[in-house]
Amino acid sequence: MITYAVALEKGGVGKTALSVNLAAAFQQAGLDVLLVDLDAQASATHWLGIDVTTMPADRSALGVFNEAIAGQLRTESITDRAIPTTGGVHVLAAHPQMASLPSLLNAATLGGIFLLSEALDSPDHPIPYDVAVLDLPPARSPILGMALAAATRCLAPVQSEDLVIRALVALMDSVTQVRVRKVNPQLQVSVLRNKYMPRSGADRVYDELLRDEYRDLLLDTVIPVRAALRDSVAVRQDIFHYSGPDVAESRALFLQLVGELIKLDGQR
């Protein structure tokens, strides 16, 4: 299974929109997809129509981590909790009680850094998905380390802002630590220009900076600002099930992104 961690240590860069629509695009490409919401705000979970206010915390991702910490992981730890959506993507939902997850991880063996990789990719309890997409909270925490330990590739969405570029530098430091410490030495990284405005002078300046500093990591696909991507949130649909102006272009871009990622990582 290929696992993508959508991560940046700053909010407002479109991580959740990217996670939801990337998962949907992989599903459109004929793959079985699990979206794992690791953010206690549960934005991706809510976006896909799941009401966490009526869900027991144990039925969310938090229940998986509790079983992992107790050494009780099973295939069913995830499959029994994964919720199918109308688009076919399965969601391992977040829950507000996941605000306690960093503390739980800190108290676990090795800081819980391998709990997610064990849950997603253990030969002892395989799960029936081709791709997992991880939607992360916008902060450096044990959750980030755990996600990077489990990921095939970290996907960093960036915009033309100084604070975003600084957050990318911080993320690259986290990736380096995961590699150097042999936690996940094969971890790959890609940088995606997201919510991009090509006619903006600032975007052009930052685009040159990104090409200078991260040329080998920069994806060819660019996701621009589009009303369809914004408006699909209001109706709690991914871009492939939302109908509105410029939706065809947005769908095509996400399929292009999936094609680019499959070329990089193949199918496992």
Write out pLDDT tens, residues 96-137: 999 999 999 999 999 999 999 999 988 888 999 999 999 999
Two structure tokens written together for 124: 């002892």
Cβ atoms 143, 137 nearer than 8 A: yes
Greater pLDDT, 245 or 200: 245
pLDDT of residue 117: 96
Cα separation, 207 vs 256, whole angstroms = 20
pLDDT of residue 198: 67
pLDDT of residue 163: 84
pLDDT above 70 covers a percentage of the chain that reads 98
Task: Compute the residue count for the chain.
Answer: 268
| Residue 125 CA from chain centroid, whole number | 22
Cα separation, 195 vs 206, whole angstroms = 13
**pLDDT tens, position by position, 156-199:** 999 877 888 889 999 999 999 999 999 999 999 999 999 887 66
Mean pLDDT of the chain: 92
Cβ atoms 110, 151 nearer than 8 A: no
Classify residue 112 by its DSSP letter: G
Cα separation, 62 vs 44, whole angstroms = 15
Q: Are strands 90-92 and 33-37 parallel, antiparallel or unpaired?
A: parallel
**pLDDT tens, position by position, 208-220:** 888 888 989 999 9
Cα separation, 112 vs 103, whole angstroms = 10
pLDDT of residue 268: 52
Q: Is the pLDDT of residue 147 over 90?
A: yes
Looking at 159-230, which runs of residues are DSSP E strands? 188-196, 218-224
Residue 149: HSE in the Cβ half-sphere, 13 Å Cα cutoff: 20
pLDDT of residue 131: 97
pLDDT of residue 207: 81
**Interior angle at CA 226, CA 39 and CA 88, nearest 5:** 50
* 112 dihedral zone (left: phi>0; alpha: psi -120 to 50; beta): left
